[in-house]
Amino acid sequence: MSKINLSYIIATRNRFPFLKITLNELLAELQSDEEIVVVDGESTDGSKAYLQELFDAGKIHQFISEPDHNQAHAWNKAMMMAHGKIIKKIIDDDVFCYQAIRTCKEYMLKHHQVDVLISNDVSISLGQKAPVLYASRLPYYKQWLTGKVPSFTFGDVHMMIRKSALAYIGLYFPAYVMMDWEYSLRISYLQANIVYYTGYNALNVAHNESISANRNKQLTKDQGKRGEIFYEYAGDDANTSLWSKIKVFIGTKIYRSSTEDKPSEKIAVNLDDIYGYYYQQLKEINQSSAGEFISR
């Protein structure tokens, strides 16, 4: 096997329309030192056969399809399977800027002390072309960096992890509904070496079928209280990371508006067209301003 510097990991279950678009974009951008790892939760919507076909053709490098307990369990399996020095999570209904990801990859390869890299991100509701909501955790990162707070939250959609750092920061905690919230607090509380990239690795696409929009709110709230105590987290008006909060809010709005008059109908969106627009939009956002790396 040739040297693998970056593993793109995908955990999916019955998300075929989104999954196909995501993999088409990723395959078009894939470089020789990168691999694709896909863990499928035994899908019944055609995803399993589609993924098996890609695997047999050598287009994806690792693939399993089997039952899992929850999404954290699936993502953990994918991280453990990864051969790359760096791991990048690819969520099948979000959008990624692979040029920005490659910039971050090169930075992490040159700076071996970096455990985790995060970036700014943007959000939009599925089917809409505006408004794009910009989100930054930079003020909270700087508070943490200067020792003013022991921990802070960030979304994992734009996170990149050095695989060797997993021995210290660990895997996702399957008992948490909002696993990225707990994971970000844990990583920062452990004082892992986190670098902040002011560019945009990802664009979050909010919709009423997303995991964030359909989470158990009471369980999330209860777990949030425990997490705040354990990680000495004062909070920033959220029991979830900011990007998750935005996705929940927008997804809920979409759900209400789409079911108010026609409760049995889903939103009619041409996914190929709208996602093509989102990928182009994210590229243009990154081209409009040069990102920089902020570290200790």
What does the alpha-carbon distance between residue 18 and residue 44 come to, in Å, rounded to a whole number? 15
Return the beta strands (E) in the chain as ranges. 6-12, 34-40, 62-65, 86-89, 95-96, 116-125, 133-135, 160-162, 194-206, 293-294
Per the CB < 8 A criterion, the answer to whether 226 and 146 are in contact is no
* Closest by CA position to 274, among listed 91, 47, 95: 95
Does the pLDDT value for residue 181 go beyond 60?
yes
Domains and CATH numbers, the chain: 1-92 (3.90.550.10), 93-296 (no CATH)
Q: What is the mean pLDDT of residues 236-264?
A: 48
What does the alpha-carbon distance between residue 24 and residue 93 come to, in Å, rounded to a whole number? 13
Per-residue pLDDT tens digits for 36-95:
999 999 999 999 999 999 999 999 999 999 999 999 999 999 999 999 999 999 999 999
Strand partners for 293 = 197
How does residue 150 score in pLDDT terms, banded at 50, 70 and 90?
Answer: very high
Mean pLDDT of the chain: 88
Per-residue pLDDT tens digits for 198-211:
999 999 999 876 55
**Better pLDDT: 130 or 263:** 130
pTM of the model: 0.88
Strand partners for 87 = 7, 161
User: For residue 127, what pLDDT is reported?
Assistant: 93
Q: What is the mean pLDDT of residues 176-182?
A: 90
User: For residue 269, what pLDDT is reported?
Assistant: 76
Per the CB < 8 A criterion, the answer to whether 32 and 2 are in contact is yes
Does the pLDDT value for residue 180 go beyond 50?
yes
Per-residue pLDDT tens digits for 152-165:
999 999 999 999 99
DSSP 39-99: EE---SSSHHHHHHHHHHTTSSSEEEE---SSHHHHHHHHHHH--SSEEEE--TTSEE-HH
What percentage of the chain exceeds 70 in pLDDT? 85
